[in-house]
Structure 1
Amino acid sequence: MDKVFQDRRSWPPAMINIPGGQASVKDEASGIRWTVDLPPYRIGRYPITAWQYQQLVNDLAVPDGQADTPKVEVSWLDAISFCNQISLQQGLTPSYRTTVDGEIECDWGVDGYRLPSEAEWEFACRAGSSEVRYGPLEDVAWYRENSEGSIHPIGSKAANAWGLHDTIGNAWEWCWDIYDPAVYGPYRVFRGGGWCDPAHGCRASCRRKSHPTYRIDDVGFWLAQSVCNGSVMRSGKPEL
């Protein structure tokens, strides 16, 4: 059995250690750029698959041929719930809690699974590269011109320099961050581009957003974990 297939069915999901560093994030609509200092963290080698999602949310039937594809049609709130569920199953401290006002808070200082911040996502996606992609688009991503109109199994395109697959194309991935609260309220960021996007949408810097309750047919998620002690501020974003 090859390594990629084993990782597709790994439980808990395969994770990669990411070194600390400084991430530069840009909002292309406004032109505003900000930087975030990141301590070391961990992130999934691949996005969560439909098979992995079913290990905890087992009331959902996986469509034929899609067990090893990224789990899509999952809302931001679904992804948050999954993070807490897998944390509890693995004996870790959940990262998320709901306040009395109904707001969701993240504790960056615990060992539980969580969504990456968008700075963490972009830093891991680039893997030290300053280019818009970590390789030729045809080699690294499923997108409009080569996907034949459907999602594909994870790990079937080339990995980046740090061993992550499918950061570009195949499915967008939810991040923790609110996109622009002054304009869009609670809308959350997703990153990476999907199987039906043109080349322009499949870049490390491309940011999109949606309501946290919406389930979209090309949006999934990655797992991340903190590896440092104490609460860490991961958002250096200015008001847009």
Structure 2
Amino acid sequence: MNCLFTNINFGLLVIFNNDKPQVNTMIQENNEILDINFLNAQLVTIPNGEITLRDDRLKQIWTVEIKSFLLSKYAVTQALYFQVMQVCPSTFSGNNLPVETISWRDAIGFCNQLSSISDLNPCYIFNLDTDDYQFDNLANGYRLATEAEWEYACKAGTQGIRYADLDEIAWYKNNANGSTHPVGLKAPNAFGLYDMLGNVWEWCSDIYDETVYGSYRIIRGGGWCDEERGCMATNRRRSHPKSFKIDDLGFRIAKNL
């Protein structure tokens, strides 16, 4: 895949050396500039509160307190992923399309790399030989949202299965025409977050059910090829953290306050 990104609107500003401004918060890599301030401006402060989760398969309902945190307005784009990781894994191609065909392991690797570039402490520690993962919940780097954080942020104060009419807020089977779409084109929720439903499913940090599924991680939100019933704030699905990659699965970044 030929990747040349410039004049990116969402989540990444690429400026070439002959145009480089004198801003000390910009990180130069491979003759391009990642504007950290611009990236952080895309993070929305999610207020504290609580969320009640349910799993009909497990017949469980539980309530989680949410501490205020930061969450990106948009899913990670192909442009941002390429700038940080220097690879283009996606099936579809476009600067502002959400990156997809990403495993959970790929997503946390991106978070750690972006943290290092930003001179922050990585949130994830993992052993490549054993596939053991540890999460540092006190680290100041970038991370995935927990599923409780994700659902709380998705609902944005609403109580139903969706925060608005699906056609207004999401790309799904009835309107996506067989592909992902650039982030941020549909209406945001009350917190200012885009595409929380549809376009691509999003990895969360949590294990789904270790007793039954082992290390399988949770995915949320629904994707471009899902029916209407697949795009609900309450849907919980899961898959293998390392081997599962598909063209309707991506992620967005979160950060502790």
Q: TM-score, normalised by structure 1?
A: 0.88
SS of the equivalent of 1:55 reads: helix
Cα deviations by residue, 1:34-70 (Å, 9 ceiling, x for unpaired): 1111111000101101111000121337777522111
Indicate the residue corresponding to 1:84 in structure 2.
112
Is residue 52 of structure 2 the alignment partner of residue 34 of structure 1? no
Q: How far did residue 126 of structure 1 move? A: 0.5
What corresponds to 1:184 in structure 2?
A: 213
Is residue 210 of structure 2 the alignment partner of residue 173 of structure 1?
no
Structure 1: runs of 5+ lacking an equivalent: 228-240
User: Structure with the greater relative contact order (CA < 8 A, sep ≥ 6): 1 or 2?
Assistant: 1
Give the fraction of aligned pairs with identical amino acids, expressed as a percent.
42
2:239 to 201, 210, 213: 210
Given the superposition, is the C-alpha separation of residues 182 and 109 from structure 1 closer, same or farther in structure 2, using an over 3 Å criterion?
Answer: same
Asked if 1:7 corresponds to 2:25, the answer is no
C-alpha distance after superposition, 1:163-185 (max 9, x if no partner) = 00000000000000111111111
Unaligned runs of 5+ in 2: 1-7, 14-34
Query: Residue 71 of structure 2 aligns to which amino acid in structure 1?
Result: I
**CA distance in 2 between partners of 1:83 and 1:173 (Å):** 14
For residues 59 and 71 of structure 2, the distance between their equivalents in structure 1, rounded to whole angstroms, comes to 28
Task: Give the 5 Å matches for 1:113-152.
Answer: 113-152=142-181
Q: Give 2:245's aligned amino acid.
A: R
Q: Could you tell me whether the CA contact under 8 Å between 2:171 and 2:224 is conserved in 1?
A: yes
Q: How many residues align?
A: 223
1:70 to 81, 93, 98: 98
Deviation at 1:102, TM superposition (A): 4.2
Q: Distance in 1 between matches of 2:110 and 2:89?
A: 16
The one-letter code sitting in structure 2 at the alignment partner of 1:218 is D
Q: Report if aligned partners of 2:10, 2:96 keep a CA contact under 8 Å in 1.
A: no
CA deviation vs aligned residue, 1:107-136 (integer Å, no higher than 9, x gap): 111210000000000010000000111100
Superposition TM-score, scaled by structure 2 size: 0.82
Q: CA RMSD of the aligned region, Å?
A: 1.7
Following superposition, the deviation at residue 31 of structure 1 comes to 2.5
Instruction: Flag the structure with larger Rg.
Output: 2
In structure 2, relative to structure 1, the CA distance for the partners of 1:85 and 1:143 (3 Å cut) is same
